Structure 1
Amino acid sequence: MRGEGRVLCLVLPLLLLLCKARSAPCPCQDPALCTPIALAKDFEVYVFDVGGQSWKAYDWSQVTTVATFGKYDPELMCYAHSKGARLVLTGDVPLKSIVDPKSRADWIAQKLDLAKAQFMDGINIDIEQPVLKESPEYYALTALVEETAEAFRREIPGSQVTFDVAWSPKCVDIRCYNYTGIASACDFLFVMSYDEQSQIWTECVAGANAPYNQTLAGYEEYIDMNIDPKKLVMGVPWYGYDYKCLNLSEDHVCVLHKVPFRGAPCSDAAGKQVPYGAMMKQVNGSRSGRQWEDQQKAPYYEYEDADGVAHQVWYDDPQSISLKASYVQKRGLRGIGMWNGDLLDYSDDPIAKWQTEAMWQALRPSP
């Protein structure tokens, strides 16, 4: 755990009180930029950043929140605040370790201290571990979100606390969480509407990472649990899956190696994740070019590797993302976001610039 700028608290009560305040100097040229963003936007465009400098090329006319999966960058914090966007921590913890209330409180205190020392605006809790209903971990996870939200809102007024969930609340990947309790406690759920083939129970064949009808069905399931649409942010993938086919038929059925995952006999682990920018460099030279599968409403292409083995690559592009983004607007969801903001090609290549701009624009399609 990083602790930049924290002072050493000794014994006197006065010093203990002082230690609760931010002690690090503001890294921004304008000290006002170290003030947390307190006002929420009506519509969220939520970006996961994994480090590096790609953030400088984000479409900041849209971005409302950046969740940092990479190393903390004070320059990013200053810039995000200058644009009125939040910068939040991300947090994960083994669930068995927070069944104990004291361990849970210690974890929250560490995250809170870090957020305050880095002038951040909240936390995204990203716990993707299997949990059984009514288990000790089930209750501990709900308590963790409730207690984190209470602590952050008390210590950083206006801060944002969010929680990442699978594309469906129906125990996907054995993630049988208390979804209604968690949604009630936090600002919103970031719904990871991708990796929807993590458990393949039917034929072991390649398919869309986030098929349209399946994706939308997941949101209806959350809403049917009486979770307010304004508590849901749709996550879309800026990456695809490259599958090596055991057999590729003339009607484009790619049979996969069976790679089990959490009880399912087959999964998308049979493929490898590929950034959108990399796929755009390959698709036009592939043997099939871009194809569109209308039932799943997703693009794909096929190619042969140097060993002559057939591959099928499924991904999302502006056409498929725009369809889902239109649902976000019509259904009145809280917003949209992606995993992750750094997977596009932000180079000066004219074609890449056009492709990247189109992906950002797809998040807010014109009516």
Structure 2
Amino acid sequence: MCKYKKIAIREMEKFVQVLLFFLLFVQGWCLIAESRFKSPNGDCPCSAPALCNVIKTPPRKEVFAFWLGGPHWMKYDWTKLTTVVMFGHYDADLMCYAHSQGVRVTLLGDFPVANLTSIADRSAWVMAQVDRAIKGHMDGINLDIEYPLNASQAKYLTTLVGETTKAFHISIPGSQVTFDVAWSPNCTDGRCYDYKGLADACDFLFVMSYDEQSQIYGDCIAMANSPYNKTATGVEGYLKLGIPANQLVLGVPWYGYNYNCTNLDNKDAATKVIHQVWYDDPVSLTTRYKYAQQMKLRGVGMWNADSLDYSDDPKAEKLTKAMWDAIGKYFLP
């Protein structure tokens, strides 16, 4: 009798999931139909209605950028980009211009992990994200969920990602669903996720190969944000899980750290404090881009594209151009 009840409950959960996804499917197509059958220009904010269409391309080499708001996107090198994540902001002009360049624009998704076990909460959240994407004429969603989870909780995260991907692919054909992961799969910062399951559940993973000092619990010692050997070890950890290389995008830092040094005699004449500044430049980043190319990864990306100096200062313009140009090393044969 007890065994029968357990099976019945499990089957009921599956039935509820199927029912909720059916409702999601209906809602998604209703939203699409509503947007398509408005006036010729509809609610499209672009100069040409076609610019509101979803970017549909077969899998391609990725250059994945995060935009944090503001006007700097106008000075990006759009010949290098394939996807821009609108990180907490929305700009219709950016969307229109990105689409004119064949670049996807995706929204940011973050889910309250305390609600992961609730089928109803997950489904409601997924429907809300699909609605946001359709109304914003966006090409998908980047899931940035960075919370500590144990193995028993992590299975529900994998379920959420799979539900999100299924809903987006059904409601917005050609859309892209991605998930941000730490630089290493070894329970980094308590994120004991099923990384192979996550890779299978979405289009690809964005590996955040930066802030690699976050796992140092002793004294904070000035060192590289993203040491090459740690970056490579992290990527290879994902590959050892059976995740295909073409489902990994290598994210690199476009920022650095300013450390106040102690116990040194020489001090800055003005502040009387010694500083060490650690950051990546076009030379150090080129080694990462070449590594991604050699390992046949899906692509490269950066956190974040707004970190550069986009002023009209000649020195700044030269360095900013060099940072963008370095990405080209990933595309070399």
* TM-score, normalised with respect to structure 2: 0.86
Residue equivalent to 1:238 = 254
> How far did residue 316 of structure 1 move?
0.5
Task: Name the amino acid aligned to 2:236.
Answer: E
Paired with 2:28 and 2:126, the residues of 1 have a C-alpha distance of 18
Task: Name the amino acid aligned to 2:175.
Answer: S
Q: Aligned pair in 2 of structure 1 residues 305, 18: CA closer, same or farther (>3 Å)? A: farther
Structure 1 residues 198-207 or 167-176, which shifts more? 198-207
Task: Name the amino acid aligned to 2:222.
Answer: A
Q: Tell me which of 336, 341, 345 is aligned to 2:300.
A: 336
Q: Tell me which of 233, 245, 248 is aligned to 1:217.
A: 233
Q: Aligned pair in 2 of structure 1 residues 40, 65: CA closer, same or farther (>3 Å)? A: farther
Q: Tell me which of 20, 25, 33 is aligned to 1:21.
A: 33
Residue equivalent to 2:169 = 153
* Superposition pairs of residues 38-187 of structure 1, within 5 angstroms: 38-134=56-152, 137-187=153-203
Paired with 2:238 and 2:28, the residues of 1 have a C-alpha distance of 44
Structure 1 residues 15-24 or 150-159, which shifts more? 15-24
CA displacement, residues 295-331 of structure 1 (integer Å, 9 cap, x when unaligned)? xxxxxxxx73844122211111101100010001111
Paired with 1:115 and 1:154, the residues of 2 have a C-alpha distance of 13
Q: Is the 8 A contact 1:22 1:117 kept in 2?
A: no
Task: Name the amino acid aligned to 1:155.
Answer: S
Q: Is the 8 A contact 1:318 1:362 kept in 2?
A: yes
Task: Name the amino acid aligned to 1:244.
Answer: N
Task: Name the amino acid aligned to 1:199.
Answer: Q
Please, what is the CA RMSD of the aligned residues? 2.0
Task: Name the amino acid aligned to 2:101.
Answer: K
Q: Does 1:31 align with 2:49?
A: yes
Q: Aligned pair in 2 of structure 1 residues 15, 351: CA closer, same or farther (>3 Å)? A: closer
SS at match of 2:151: coil
Q: Aligned pair in 2 of structure 1 residues 22, 333: CA closer, same or farther (>3 Å)? A: farther
Q: Is the 8 A contact 2:31 2:134 kept in 1?
A: no
Q: Is the 8 A contact 1:22 1:116 kept in 2?
A: no
CA displacement, residues 250-296 of structure 1 (integer Å, 9 cap, x when unaligned)? 9xxxxxxxxxxxxxxxxxxxxxxxxxxxxxxxxxxxxxxxxxxxxxx
Residue equivalent to 1:295 = none
Structure 1 residues 150-159 or 65-74, which shifts more? 65-74
SS at match of 1:215: helix
Paired with 2:58 and 2:86, the residues of 1 have a C-alpha distance of 18
Question: Counting helix residues as a fraction of each chain, which structure ranks higher?
Answer: 2
Q: Is the 8 A contact 1:187 1:231 kept in 2?
A: yes
CA displacement, residues 18-77 of structure 1 (integer Å, 9 cap, x when unaligned)? 445354611111111111011145210001000111111111111000000142111111
* Superposition pairs of residues 276-295 of structure 1, within 5 angstroms: none
Residue equivalent to 2:276 = 312
Paired with 2:71 and 2:34, the residues of 1 have a C-alpha distance of 26
Q: Aligned pair in 2 of structure 1 residues 309, 182: CA closer, same or farther (>3 Å)? A: same
Paired with 2:297 and 2:98, the residues of 1 have a C-alpha distance of 23
> How far did residue 347 of structure 1 move?
1.4
* TM-score, normalised with respect to structure 1: 0.78
Residue equivalent to 2:221 = 205
Paired with 1:357 and 1:208, the residues of 2 have a C-alpha distance of 23
Segments of 4+ in structure 1 off by > 4 A? 14-20
Q: Is the 8 A contact 2:66 2:302 kept in 1?
A: yes
> How far did residue 225 of structure 1 move?
0.7
Q: Aligned pair in 2 of structure 1 residues 16, 223: CA closer, same or farther (>3 Å)? A: closer
Structure 1 residues 41-50 or 191-200, which shifts more? 41-50
Residue equivalent to 1:360 = 324
Task: Name the amino acid aligned to 2:253.
Answer: P
SS at match of 1:143: helix
> How far did residue 240 of structure 1 move?
0.4
Residue equivalent to 2:6 = none
Residue equivalent to 2:22 = none
Q: Is the 8 A contact 1:168 1:219 kept in 2?
A: yes
Residue equivalent to 1:280 = none
- 5+ residue gaps in structure 1? 1-13, 251-302
Residue equivalent to 1:279 = none
Paired with 1:315 and 1:78, the residues of 2 have a C-alpha distance of 33
Task: Name the amino acid aligned to 2:48.
Answer: D
Task: Name the amino acid aligned to 1:223.
Answer: L
SS at match of 1:25: coil
Paired with 1:200 and 1:71, the residues of 2 have a C-alpha distance of 32
How much identity, in percent, do the aligned residues show? 53
- 5+ residue gaps in structure 2? 1-25, 36-41
Paired with 1:318 and 1:327, the residues of 2 have a C-alpha distance of 14
> How far did residue 133 of structure 1 move?
1.7
Paired with 1:190 and 1:353, the residues of 2 have a C-alpha distance of 28
